[in-house]
Amino acid sequence: MRAAYGLLGLVLLVSLAAPAVAAPGGHYVPQAGDGFHYSEEITVGDGVGDYQGYTEATFINGSVGVTAVAPNGTESATFANTWTYSNNSGGYLAGSTQGTFTFSAGSFLYVQGTDNQTGYTNPTVWFYINSSAPTGSTVELLNTYCTVVSTNQTYQFPNDPSRYVKTIYTDGSSQYVRDDSYGDFDASYTWQSYFDPSTGYIVGYLYTEHDSNSSGDGFTYTDVLSVTSTTYALTAASPPSSGGSTGSGSGDSYLLILAVVLIVIVVIVVVVVAALRARRHSSLPRHSAGGRVEYGTVPVYAPPPPSGPAPPPIHLTGVQQPAVQQVVVRETVKVNCRYCGTLIDSTATVCPNCGAPRT
C-alpha cells in the first residue's frame, strides 16, 4: 500500500461520528478529532524464475488522525503503526513507526511530510478523496489516477465478512519500473479503493501488482487494507443479492454479470495456458508510480544458487585405505609340574621333563 508499518496508534480516535462539514466545492472537510484505525496485509507470492517458491508476508496495524485545522484549510495529522514481516527463508522483522504531517483539504496533496510515504512526486493523500466526486470523474491517490466507478458500492469487510457498508468505489491502474531490494522489474498494477460517501475517508482497498523481467523472473505483490474503527459513522448496506463480496452495489447488476462472464473467460484461458505451459506460473506485486514500494527496511531477497552435480562422498581419513586383516594371538597358561617343578603348558597331559602325569 501507501503507508509504512504500524499498529494501534492514536488515542484521539473515539467512536463518535464527525460532524459533516462541507468545503466551498461541496465536499467534506476534515475536522480535528477525525481519524481511523486500519489493518493491512501485504503478501508476495506466485514467484517464477529466481522467485520460484519464495513467499513473504507483512501484517500492519495502524492509525491516522487529524489534530488541527488551519484557516487556510491545511490539516495537521498524526500517524502511528506497528508491523511484523516474515518470509519462507526464515527472515523475520518487527517494528513501529509514528510521526506527523500536514495535508490540504482543497488540493488533497501532502503539504509538509507524509505518513511515511517514499518514492512519490508531490503525491496526494491515499486516505481521503472528494466526497462529492460524481461517477465517471477522476481522483488521484498518491500518484495514481483512479476513476470513480460507483458512488453507491457495497463493500464487504475482509476481516468481518458479515459486515457490509455503502462506499464510493474507485479503480485505477498503471505501470512503473521497480528498482529496489526486490530487483529490477517491469511492474503493472490495479488499485481498487473504497471510501465513505459522507466524508471521503478510506474504508478499504485492494492493490495487486504483477512484476516481471526479461530473465523470466517475477512475482505477485498484493496489499489488502480495511479500517477497523472510525470516528466517522459508516453507512450500513445489505449484502449483494448475488452473495458476492466487495464490489457489488445496487444498480450495478449489469456490471456484475459482465464481470462474471469475463472471469469465466479468463479462467478458461488460464486453464488452456497452464496446460500448454505445464510448469510455468503467472507473476505479479504493489503501488507506486516510480519509486520504492516496500514499507521500512526489509531483508534483501537473495535467490538460491543454481543446483549442480552431487558432491563426492566425504572420507574422514582423507584417503581411502584397504581393509585391515585382524590377527588374533592366543596366550597359553603355564603351570608347575607337581613332581619336578618344571613349567609346562596347562594343556599338556604329562611333564615333558620327568614324564610324570600333570594331574
Domain spanning 35-246: which CATH class is it, in words? mainly beta
According to DSSP, residue 305 is labeled P
Plot region of 290 (φ>0 → left; ψ -120 to 50 → alpha; else → beta): left
- In terms of C-beta density within 10 A (0-12 exposed, 13-18 middle, 19 or more buried), how is residue 322 classed? exposed
How many Cα atoms sit within 13 Å of 305 on the Cβ side?
3
Do residues 164 and 238 make contact, with C-beta atoms less than 8 angstroms apart?
yes
Q: What is the pLDDT of residues 260-318, one digit of tens each?
A: 657 767 666 554 444 444 333 332 233 333 333 333 333 334 444 444 444 444 344 44
Comparing CA positions, the residue from 182, 175, 180 lying closest to residue 49 is 182
- Between 151 and 240, name the one with better pLDDT: 151
Q: What is the pLDDT of residues 132-156, one digit of tens each?
A: 999 999 999 999 999 999 999 999 9
Q: What is the mean pLDDT of residues 24-30?
A: 78
Bridge partners, 101 (sequence order):
77
Do residues 34 and 12 make contact, with C-beta atoms less than 8 angstroms apart?
no
Comparing CA positions, the residue from 356, 312, 316, 315 lying closest to residue 337 is 356
Q: How far apart are CA 155 and CA 161, in angstroms?
A: 10
Do residues 172 and 194 make contact, with C-beta atoms less than 8 angstroms apart?
no
Hey, how many other C-beta atoms are within 10 angstroms of the C-beta on 150? 22
Provide the grid cell at 152.
453507491
Q: What is the mean pLDDT of the chain?
A: 77
Q: How far apart are CA 120 and CA 126, in angstroms?
A: 12
How many Cα atoms sit within 13 Å of 1 on the Cβ side?
31
Three-class DSSP category at 73: coil
Q: What is the pLDDT of residues 70-81, one digit of tens each?
A: 999 899 999 999
CA-CA-CA-CA dihedral for 23, 27, 30, 36, to nearest 10: 180
Backbone φ, ψ for residue 123 (5° rounding)? -80, 155
- Choice among 5-19, 57-71, 130-144, 208-222 with the minimum mean pLDDT: 5-19
Q: How far apart are CA 348 and CA 354, in angstroms?
A: 13
Comparing CA positions, the residue from 312, 146, 172, 167 lying closest to residue 246 is 167
Do residues 55 and 45 make contact, with C-beta atoms less than 8 angstroms apart?
yes
Pairing of strands 218-230, 183-195: unpaired
Residue 14 has pLDDT above 90, yes or no: no
Query: Rounded to 5, what percent of the chain is helix, strand, coil?
Result: 10, 40, 50
Do residues 122 and 92 make contact, with C-beta atoms less than 8 angstroms apart?
no
Quote the pLDDT of residue 204. Answer: 97
Three-class DSSP category at 272: helix
CA-CA-CA-CA dihedral for 149, 155, 158, 162, to nearest 10: -160
Do residues 63 and 6 make contact, with C-beta atoms less than 8 angstroms apart?
yes
Q: What is the pLDDT of residues 151-198, one digit of tens each?
A: 999 999 998 889 999 999 999 999 999 998 889 999 999 999 999 999
Quote the pLDDT of residue 210. Answer: 97
- Locate CATH 2.30.230 in the chain: 35-246
Quote the pLDDT of residue 261. Answer: 59
Q: Which amino acid is at 86?
A: S
Do residues 134 and 114 make contact, with C-beta atoms less than 8 angstroms apart?
no
According to DSSP, residue 296 is labeled S
Quote the pLDDT of residue 285. Answer: 31
**pTM flag (> 0.95):** no
**In which band, very low, low, confident or very high, does the pLDDT at 216 lie, cut at 50, 70 and 90?**
very high
